[in-house]
Structure 1
Amino acid sequence: MTITAAADGSALGNPGPAGWAWYVNDDCWRAGGWPHGTNNMGELMAVLDLFRSTAHMPGEDLHILCDSQYVINSVTKWMPGWKRKGWRKSDGKPVMNVELLKDIDQALVGRKYKFEWVRGHAGHDLNEAADDRARAAATAYQQGVAVRQGPGFGAPAGYLVPAAQAAPAAGQAAPADQAVPAAVQAAPQAPVPSGRHELFGVPTLFDEPDLFSELDEDTTPAPGTDASPEAIVESLERELLLPETRGDFGRTGVLLHPDFTEIGTSGRIWTRDAVMMSLEETPGGPTELEMLGADRLDAQTVLLTYRSHTRSGSALRSSLWVHDGAQWRLRFHQGTPEA
C-alpha cells in the first residue's frame, strides 16, 4: 500500500507566524506551527511530521506531493553532500534549517518514499488542502487563537490545540511528535511589519541569473509609514539585492510570484525554481543601483526601471511587480547589458 499525502508550509511575514500541514484526506491530516518562523521551516516540518506520524507503519510507502523544490532537492539531492561536509554548503557556510534537516535525515531510515513536485496554487486538490491548513495554523498563531491540529492517523477529528501549547516558548520542552527546532525556539518574537516580504537573487553575466545584487543601503520604509505602492515596490526590489535575502529560500519564495520569469543579461530564460536554487548556492557580489523610474501601470501593477553597476559592467533592468491581493510579488525581470 502507498500513502499519498501533500505537505506544505506557510509564513505570514516570513519570518513571522508560521504553519505547516500534511494532508491525505479530510479524515487524515495534521497541522501545527510556531509564533515565529519561515515558510521553509514550515515546508520541512510538514515532511518531518508526516514521516513521524507514519512511523508505526514502516512497511507503507510514502508518496509525498510537495510544491517546494528547496525541500525536494534538500532531501533527495543535497543532504548526503551536506552531511559529508559537516552540514555545510559548498561555500563552507552552515546549512540553513539544519536541525529540521537532521531530524528528517533520521526519520528517513528504513522508509520507502518518493517525492513528486506539484505546482503550488494551481488547483491541485491535495496541495490546496495542505496549503489551506498550513495557512490557517499560521493565522491562528498570528491571532493568538487555538490551532486546528487535525486528526492525524487515528486521533479524534477536529482536535484543537491552543496556540500557546502547540509550540512551546523558548527554553521549554516540545512534545515528541511536534518538536520545535532550536533555531525557532531561539528566534526573536518581535512582530514583522505587514508590508515586509522576501526573496533572493544575484548576477553573474553568463552562467548565473542576474537579478539580485548587494546594495550599500536599505531603504525599506519604516514600520508604520504610509508608503505609496511605488515606494513599497522599490524597497522590496532593494531588499532582494541584500545578501541575507538572496540566500534565504523562505524570503525568496514569498517575494517571487509563482509564475516568475527572468531574462538574464546573457539572454538565458530563468524560471522561478531555477533562479532560487542557483542563487542559494551563488549569491553574487556587490552592486550599485541607479533608479530610473517607478511607474504604476494600474492599481495592481508597478514597473521599476533602473541601472545596475557591477565589477563586470552596467546593465539596464526592468522589474514588473504585481499585487496578488495580499502582497506585492515580482512577476518578471529582465536585464540588458550596456555597451
Structure 2
Amino acid sequence: MTIIAAADGSALGNPGPAGWAWYIDHENWGAGGWDHGTNNMGELQAVLELFRATAKEPETELKILCDSQYAINCITKWMPGWKKKGWKKSDGKPVLNQDILRELDAVIVGRKYTFEWVKGHAGHELNEEADDRARAAATAHQSGKDPDAGPGYTGSSGTIAGNEPGQAPPPVVEAAAEPAVDVASTVFELEQGLLDAQVRANFTEVSDFLHPSYQEVCRDGSLLDVSTVRSILDAGGTLPATGPVQLLTARPLDSKLVLIAYRMSPEGSQVLVCSSWWQQTERGWKLRFRQETIESRA
C-alpha cells in the first residue's frame, strides 16, 4: 500500500509569519508554523511532520507531492553531501535550515518514500488542500493566534492515497490549462527559491533552476551563463547579493513562457529585475534570461 500526501509551506513576506501543512484527506492532515520563518522552512517542515505522523506505519510507502523543487532536492540530492561535510556547504559555511534537515535525515532512515513535483496553484486537489492549510497557519501566526493543527494521521477513515477504501488512487495529472495567475505564482516561487542564499552558494543547487541556455545581465554590466556561474562558485566566489523583494508583475505569455518583474533591495540599493522562465516538459520551469538594473543607490 502507498499513502499519497501533499506537503506545502507558506510565508507571508518570506521571511515573515510562516506555516506548513501536509494533507492526505479530510481525516488525515496536520499543520503548524512560526511567528517568523521562510517558505523553504515551511516546505521542509511539512515533509518532516508527514514522516513523523506516519511513523507508526514504517512499512507503508509514502508518495510525497511537493510544488517545491528546493525541498525535493534538499532531501534527494543535496542532503547526503551536506552531511558528509559536517552540514557545511562547499564554501565552508553552515547549511541553512540544518536543524530541520538533521531531523529529516533521522526520520527517513528505513522508510520507503518517493517524491513527485507538482505544479503549485494549478488545481491539484491535494496540493491545494495543503497550501490552504499552510497559508491558514501562517495567517494565524500573523494574527497572534494558534493555528488549527488538524487531526494528524489517524488512519480512522481507512483512507490510502487520498481515496475511499477499496478505490484506486487517482493518477497525478497536470491540468491541461492553468489560470494565468496560478502559473505566474508558481514561477515566482521558483524565482524566490533562486534568491535563497543557501541555493546561490553552490553550483549543484543553483544550476537546478537554470535553463541550459540561461543568460543573465548583472547589475554591474557583467554577463553570466551556466558555465560562468560554475566557474565563480567552484572558485569560492559569490553571486550578486539579493534582498527584500517587491513583485511588480508576473505574466505568462503562453503556456511555456512567464515573464517576471520585481524590485529588490540588496545592500541599500534598489534594483529592478526582469526574468523569463521557460517550461521544459521533463524538467519543469527553468530560468532562461534575467537582467538586473540599478535604479538607485543608498
Pair in the same fold by TM > 0.5: yes
Separation in 2, partners of 1:49, 1:71:
13
- Distance in 2 separating the partners of 1:256 and 1:4: 36
Contact 1:213–1:242 (CA under 8 A) maintained in structure 2: no
Q: Secondary structure at the match of 1:147?
A: coil
Kept after mapping to 2: 8 A contact 1:82/1:88: yes
In the alignment, residue 49 of structure 2 is paired with which amino acid?
D
Say whether residues 1:51 and 2:51 are aligned partners: yes
Residues 48 and 100 in structure 1, CA contact (< 8 A), matched pair in contact too: yes
Q: Evaluate the alpha carbon distance shift between residue 318 and residue 151 of structure 1 in structure 2; reply closer, same or farther with a 3 A threshold.
A: closer
- Is the Cα contact below 8 Å between 1:28 and 1:153 reproduced in 2? yes
Task: Measure, in 1, the Cα distance between the counterparts of 2:40 and 2:22.
Answer: 14
Contact 1:8 1:46 survives alignment (8 Å): yes
2:103 maps to amino acid: D
- Corresponding residue for residue 129 of structure 1: 129
User: How far apart in 1 are the matches of 2:248 and 2:74?
Assistant: 20
CA distance in 2, matches of 1:199, 1:75: 15
Q: Which residue type is aligned with residue 52 of structure 1? A: R
User: Deviation string for 1:81-125 (max 9, x for gaps)?
Assistant: 111111112222221101100000000011000000001111100
Larger-Rg structure: 1
The residue aligned with 1:26 is 26
- The change in CA–CA distance for 1:319 and 1:108 in structure 2 (over 3 A counts) is closer
Letter in 2 for 1:92: G
Residue 39 of structure 1 aligns with which residue? Answer: 39
The count of residues paired between Structure 1 and Structure 2 equals 210
User: Which residues of 2 match residues 174-213 of structure 1 at below 5 A?
Assistant: 200=194, 209-211=214-216, 213=218
Partner of residue 102, structure 1: 102
TM-score, normalised with respect to structure 2: 0.59
C-alpha displacement of 1:79:
0.9
Is residue 215–residue 288 contact of structure 2 (8 Å, CA) maintained in 1?
Answer: no
Q: Residue 17 in 1 paired to residue 17 in 2?
A: yes
Quick check: 1:64–1:113 contact (8 Å CA) kept in 2? yes
Q: State TM-score, norm by structure 1.
A: 0.52
Tell me how far apart the structure 1 counterparts of residues 213 and 124 of structure 2 sit (CA, whole Å).
31
Contiguous gaps of at least 5 residues in structure 1: 158-196, 216-240, 262-268, 273-285, 292-303, 305-316, 321-330
Gaps of 5+ in 2: 158-190, 201-205, 221-237, 260-266, 277-286, 293-298
The Cα offsets for residues 8-38 of structure 1, whole Å up to 9 and x where unpaired, read as 0000011110000000001110000000100
Are residues 1:77 and 2:74 paired? no
Q: Calculate the aligned-residue CA RMSD, in Å.
A: 4.3
1:245 to 217, 242, 247: 242
Q: 1:207 to 1:81 in 2, by over 3 A?
A: same
- 2:52 and 2:212 map into 1 onto residues whose CA distance is 40
